[in-house]
Amino acid sequence: MSTVAKAISLLDLLGSGAPETALADLAKTAGFDKATTRRLLVSLMAHELVEQDETTRLYRLGAGIARLALMREAQFPFLRMAAPVVEALAAETGETVHLSEYSKRGLITVQVVESAKANRVSVQLGDVLPMHATASGIAFLAFAEERVREGIFDGPLPAFTPHTIDKVETLVEHVAAARARGHSTGSQGYEEGVLSVASAILGADGFAIGTIAIAAPRVRIHKGDIERHGASVAAAAREIGGRLFGRHNQPGRKRAS
């Protein structure tokens, strides 16, 4: 693993666990020795990507992370353009709605509006969603570039529940159905008891750049709800595409990739 990769892995750990972490715990979780971990942290602190509390000596993400995020958002305002649509969809459906953006690491959750209901689905910011096991992933693959889609089809397809799609032929069928409908449906593929409906957000070239999804307890969702949520999430995805690129992208009407 390169030095850069090691440093990024520490940032990931600091962002996914407790707000503050001790050096020993970071080193143990990362699998690095303390000297290496400390050296990496010092370098990250020099660029304000990591901070250390002067009293507790614990480490946390630094303000430099927010600065980079703001710079990126200024250049490509994905979250700012999508946030009102996510909030409106959550208010309309009463269920948890989450927004994901694609990167080389995968489909990453960047916004979540949780349902106010006691029995609700919780989604964590920063989650990397498996393409084959989630409605978001399948919706994305339906409009993904061929190289991305083929990379997933080549496997592996690890099982997260007894309901996870683990055969390429089945995944291909689900992706084709999602492309035809403009939205996908996933039932318990990633987490038991959860049903999700998702649609791809298309870029200016007609390929997927992210997804928006509705997630709800399976016991609360019926056939009519699925159809209604599918129409709503597809409309929301088109609206986000329109906000970003000045026009409403139409899933199912773009060229095949």
The answer on 20 and 101 residing in a single domain is no
The answer on 92 and 39 residing in a single domain is no
For 57-106, what is each residue's pLDDT tens digit? 999 999 998 888 888 877 778 999 999 999 999 999 999 999 999 988 88
Per-residue pLDDT at 247: 61
Alpha helices (runs of H) in the chain, residue ranges in sequence order: 3-16, 23-30, 34-46, 63-75, 78-93, 135-142, 146-153, 168-181, 223-245
**Domain's final residue, options 21, 39, 67:** 67
Per-residue pLDDT at 29: 93
**Residue 167 placed within a domain:** yes
**Residue 51 placed within a domain:** yes
How does the average pLDDT of the chain come out, rounded?
Answer: 91
Q: Is the pLDDT of residue 254 over 50?
A: no
Residue 27 lies in domain: 3-67
Q: Is the pLDDT of residue 257 over 80?
A: no
For 218-240, what is each residue's pLDDT tens digit? 999 988 899 999 999 999 999 99
Question: What CATH number does the domain containing 60 carry?
Answer: 1.10.10.10
Who's near 100: CB < 8 A, 6+ residues apart? 107, 108, 109, 110, 129, 136, 140, 210, 211, 212, 213
The answer on 90 and 53 residing in a single domain is no
**Residue 10 placed within a domain:** yes
The answer on 112 and 58 residing in a single domain is no
**Domain's final residue, options 44, 67, 90:** 67
The answer on 139 and 46 residing in a single domain is no
**Residue 257 placed within a domain:** no
Beta strand 96-103 pairing with 106-113 = antiparallel
Give the total number of structural domains in the chain.
2
The answer on 151 and 92 residing in a single domain is yes
For 70-79, what is each residue's pLDDT tens digit? 888 777 789 9
What are the angstrom distances between the C-alpha of 181 and each of 78, 125, 144? 24, 28, 15
For 207-218, what is each residue's pLDDT tens digit? 999 999 999 999
**Domain's final residue, options 67, 92, 108:** 67
